[in-house]
Amino acid sequence: MNKFLIGDFEGPLDLLLHLIKQSKMDISEIKIVEITEQYINFIKEMEEMNLDIASEYLVTASELIEMKSRYLLPKQTKEENDEYEENPEEELKRRLLEYQKYKESVNELRILENNRSSYFTKTPEKREQYTTEKLENTENLTPYDLLKALEKLLERKEYTKPLNTKITKKELSVNDRVAKIRDVLKKQKRVDFLSLFESITRPYVVVTFLGILEMAKNKEILLKQDNNFDTIILERVD
């Protein structure tokens, strides 16, 4: 059986998904007491090995302990609290299901990236004839066109470098990003596709990418490109 270390995970939700899978649980039927004990034991084991624990893991540990303590409260007290407070256990399930979706999307992007490596590009001396050629249908760009533009951004931002740790208590959802993009498009009718990726982290990139695809599918925006290899523009549909 493989021994996992804290560095094998991309964040606390990634660790929780691993523990849930290892326990053969369904996300919708999480046993909060059991999963909290497994999470805390894992963190303690890492600390005993003198491994650095990022603050985000400790924040999640405190949230789980709080959920566990609420779960263990007398039933009547729990029902009274539920009338006024959001159920933290349901919120955790929602976050885990959403993160699982992110992971699946990232895997799909990696597959596309690997497939892309099997293609050969034109040599530079033969490329000039296409750089000024107009696209026949600039409002019908494909997800693959967006992916290529995103790959260039990630290369420039050195996406593979470790990121500074930040304490985060709530993960971003696709709906959150769609709402933010709508706010941007209310102020300006046209916006550069790449300018929407202010933060270069896996979850942020994935939810932003999925949000843009969803808005295009719902015909809230048009995707335009004046010339081949030009900047991709999002235009609000009034």
The answer as to whether 175 is a domain residue is yes
What's residue 163's pLDDT?
42
**Buried b / exposed e across 154-176, counting CB within 10 Å, b at 16+?**
eeeeeeeeeeeeeeeeebbbbee
What's the mean pLDDT in 138-157?
70
The answer as to whether 44 is a domain residue is yes
% pLDDT > 70, the chain: 73
Based on the fold, state whether residues 138 and 211 are members of the same structural domain: yes
Contact 179, 109 (CB under 8 A): no
Max Cα distance, the chain (Å): 76
User: Domain limits at 48?
Assistant: 6-95
What's the mean pLDDT in 174-203?
87
Inform me whether the pLDDT recorded for 65 exceeds 80: yes
Q: Which tokens in the block code for residue 135?
A: 């696209």
The answer as to whether 49 is a domain residue is yes
Q: Cα–Cα distance between 207 and 178 in angstroms, integer?
A: 9
Based on the fold, state whether residues 51 and 143 are members of the same structural domain: no
The answer as to whether 110 is a domain residue is no
The answer as to whether 117 is a domain residue is no
Contact 202, 106 (CB under 8 A): yes
Number of folded domains that form the chain: 2
3-state SS assignment for residue 119: coil
List of residues 6+ apart from 174 with CB closer than 8 A? 98, 207, 210, 211, 214
- Other Cβ atoms closer than 10 A to 119: 6
The answer as to whether 156 is a domain residue is yes
- Of 65, 95, 125, the position where a domain reaches its end is 95
- Of 48, 73, 95, the position where a domain reaches its end is 95
Tell me which of 91 and 16 has the higher pLDDT: 16
The answer as to whether 211 is a domain residue is yes
Q: Cα–Cα distance between 47 and 39 in angstroms, integer?
A: 13
Inform me whether the pLDDT recorded for 117 exceeds 90: no
Residue with tokens 């270390």: 5
The answer as to whether 53 is a domain residue is yes
